Amino acid sequence: MIFSSLIFTYAFLPICLILYMLVKPLKGKNAVLIILSLFFYAWGEPVRVGLLILSAAVNYFIGIWIGDAKSEKGQKAAISVGLVFNIGMIAVIKYSGFLMTNVNSLFHSSLPVPDIAPLAGISFYTFQIISYIVDCYWGKVEPQRNFFKLLLYISLFPQLIAGPIVRYQTIADEIEDRTTTLQDYSEGFSRFIVGLAKKVVLADQLHKIVDSFLGSSGVSSLTIAGSWYGVIVYSLYIYFDFSGYSDMAIGIGRIFGFHFNENFNHPYLCASIQEFWQRWHISLGTFFRDYLTPITFFGYRNKYLSLALVWLCTGIWHGAAWNYILWGVYYGLFILFEELLGKKRIKKIPIVIRHIYSKLVIIIGFGIFYFDDTKGGIKNLGLFLRNLTPANPNGALGIAEKISFCNNLFLIIAAVVCTFPLISWFKKLSERSLAAKSVISVSGTAVCAALLILSSILMVDATTQAFLYWHF
Amino acid sequence: MSDKKKSSKNVEEKPRDPKAEKREKALRIVNVAVLTTIFAGIALFMTFGKRPNVSYTENRNLEKPPEFTWEGYWSGYVTDQFSKYYNDTVPERAAWKLFISNFRAHLGVKYGNGVTIVGEVPVIDNHSKPDDTSKPANSVPEVVIKKPEDGGASSNGDASSNAVSSSSNPKVPAVVIPKPSGTSDTTETTEPTESEPAPDNTENTNPNVPAVVIPSRPTV
């Protein structure tokens, strides 16, 4: 069940809200959320719920083992078992097929390749669990002694499938005690609608353009302008798709009284690649920063080895395909370049040049990201990268991109405008006077109402796309 | 969570005078009331509205609700089929589909003067015999005439998608059949429908003569 579907928005969500409001004690509210979260996760593939509960149970005992261990040795044993279990689980389910395929092609062997269906959200909830047990080990949080509360943290449906990767310490207190205020409900609902509109009104329409340029088998015959046009639109699409989901998750969480951390902060406003990653998929970036960089190599820390590890893992986390690994390494190299250059020197470069540089790197990066194995893999990626350059044999400009650009002009302008922090600007503007606040607030309500109606109608179209990050 | 932390999350702004707070509360109530009313209205419409079981514009039976079996549930069939049924049988779906088609037709401006000639235009010699073999018999027709003003979907959001999908070479679309307005992308078909038989003018029996595509008439 995807968030941007009618069945979720107008059947599942209203039932959740009604049941949640009817039940008064917090224990009951938590029980409602657990049952509905498991029901949500079981939709379309009930078997996967078993794995989620198994994972929660194992990590519940590991948390208690860490908490009750009297010596550091015991704690180390517990955290080791926990990490092996969690990383092993994700490695087997997500990467074993990829690994065996590459082993077979490298050594010309014919070892059996496991055919395990991908599990939606496994990368997200496994990382949440890892953050929980590591925080228990580091003493940042107390191990949860109530299994159902831990299960609620892991299975909470707004962030279960595509994040943000919520740390246990972020919502630990809210699992124990929370209330939904009028402000929570108002802002949560508005946030949900904004996210829905980002996905249905912008991302899904942009996806049709991406599909017609990069998605067909005609990558080899794209012109230079067509290649750039396709990948720029893809960069817009992926932002609205993923940030739309995060907005919806944060909004629904807020309605139920949970305050998740932000996952995006207008990433295309960045002037460097380091800044981009401080604004894009923040929960993943901070996860790697907090849990991978402390790892020591042969007894001491090495900045550059940590950097290599973080970016290799970032690539691998996104999927079991070479293009994702290449994507991670690609960003790692640019981060390294900026590290070596130093912040002072970077700041001396004119801001326009910095913006052009960062956008170029990001857009080409998303080109690498796009061509996974289902879209022709490395072969099509090579053709695509060639077509971005004057080496393209198909010419500079074709009729297809001219028509597409004109026919989608308003959509593209709207998408570009929406990458700016419009809501923050209006909020600042509303601080000037009481009258301004009233006008902007009422206008905001009217816009949200219009977006809700428009998104609801557009969801009738069966071609609504699933969220891209569900595959991860 | 400590009260201090909790309050810092709930109240993001500094406390102001009571009048401003009262106004803010009133604005929030308006926001919640308006959005909840619309949300509840649509949810009720979806739940109690009459669901169609046939689409006349698409000439097909719509999805049916699944019969519940435990076997079907565990395989995922029941929930998948219910999702399809719920989405496919939205009350007043034809009207919404028409709206979507019109919405997509207004995502940009029409390219050029309304007629687009794609690819190289072959010179047709009026004096040549019909069995002229100067051009290979299996050559792809290279002329496409598009009239975006005909039908909503022909001037739809992405004209190029039609072009690209109909040929392996996106620069040379072989045949473009504009969709009648009121149908979505998924319903695009060259098969005749009950309400609107497909025009038979796309057939090109002579491979030497480029196919001239006459747009289908828009649905009324």
ipTM value > 0.95: no
Q: For position A435, what pLDDT does the model report?
A: 86
Say which range, A328-342, B70-84, B110-124, B141-155, has the weakest mean pLDDT: B141-155
Helix ranges (H only) for A351-398 are 351-370, 377-387
Residue A173, H or E segment: helix A168-176
Q: What's the rounded Cα separation, in Å, for the pair B179 and B173?
A: 16
- Whether A365 and A357 have beta carbons less than 8 Å apart is answered as no
Q: Tell me which of B23, B89, B101, B161 to substitute to probe the interface with A (most A C-beta atoms closer than 10 Å).
A: B161
**For every one of its 472 residues, what pLDDT tens digit does chain A have, with 9 covering 90 and above?**
888 889 999 999 999 999 999 998 999 999 999 999 999 988 878 888 888 899 999 999 999 999 888 888 888 999 999 999 999 998 888 888 888 888 888 888 888 888 777 777 888 889 999 999 999 999 899 999 999 999 999 999 888 877 788 889 888 889 998 888 898 999 999 999 999 999 999 999 999 899 888 876 678 888 999 999 999 999 999 999 999 999 999 999 999 999 998 999 999 999 999 999 999 999 998 998 888 887 777 777 778 888 888 899 899 888 888 889 999 999 999 999 999 988 888 888 999 999 999 999 999 999 999 988 777 788 888 888 998 889 888 888 888 888 889 989 999 999 999 999 998 898 888 888 888 888 999 999 999 999 999 999 999 886 556 666 655 6
3-state secondary structure of A300: strand
Domain boundaries, chain B: 16-48, 111-127+135-220
- Which of these, A146, A150, A157, lies nearest to A131 by C-alpha position? A150
> pLDDT band at B116, cuts 50/70/90?
low
Q: What's the rounded Cα separation, in Å, for the pair A17 and A13?
A: 6
Q: For position B16, what pLDDT does the model report?
A: 65
Q: For position B217, what pLDDT does the model report?
A: 38
- Which of these, A341, A15, A403, lies nearest to B47 by C-alpha position? A15
3-state secondary structure of B146: strand
Is residue B34 scored above 90 in pLDDT?
A: yes
Q: For position B147, what pLDDT does the model report?
A: 45
> pLDDT band at B161, cuts 50/70/90?
very low
Q: Tell me which of A6, A224, A407, A416 to substitute to probe the interface with B (most B C-beta atoms closer than 10 Å).
A: A407
Sign of CA dihedral A263, B1, A121, A134: positive
CB contact under 8 A, B10 and A403: no
Q: For position B127, what pLDDT does the model report?
A: 56
Residue B131, H or E segment: none
- Whether B161 and B178 have beta carbons less than 8 Å apart is answered as no
What CA–CA distances, in Å, run from A410 to A415, B80, B110? 8, 35, 11
Residue A182, H or E segment: helix A182-197
CB contact under 8 A, B43 and A11: yes
Q: What is the 3-state secondary structure (H, E, C) of B155-207?
A: HCCCHHHHHHHCCCCCCCCCCCCCCCCCCCHHHCCCCCCCCCCCCCCCCCCCC
Q: What pairs with residue B117 in β-bridges?
A: B145
What does the mean pLDDT of chain B come to?
63
pLDDT: which is higher, B113 or A188: A188
CA-based end-to-end distance of chain A: 16
Burial class (CB in 10 A: 0-12, 13-18, 19+), A468: middle
CB contact under 8 A, B186 and A462: yes
Residue A355 catalytic?
A: no
- Which of these, A467, A409, A461, lies nearest to A233 by C-alpha position? A409
- Whether B81 and B42 have beta carbons less than 8 Å apart is answered as no
pLDDT: which is higher, B65 or A301: B65
Q: For position B17, what pLDDT does the model report?
A: 78
Residues of B in contact with A457 (CB under 8 A): 96, 99-100, 103
- Which of these, B74, B53, B44, B94, lies nearest to A11 by C-alpha position? B44
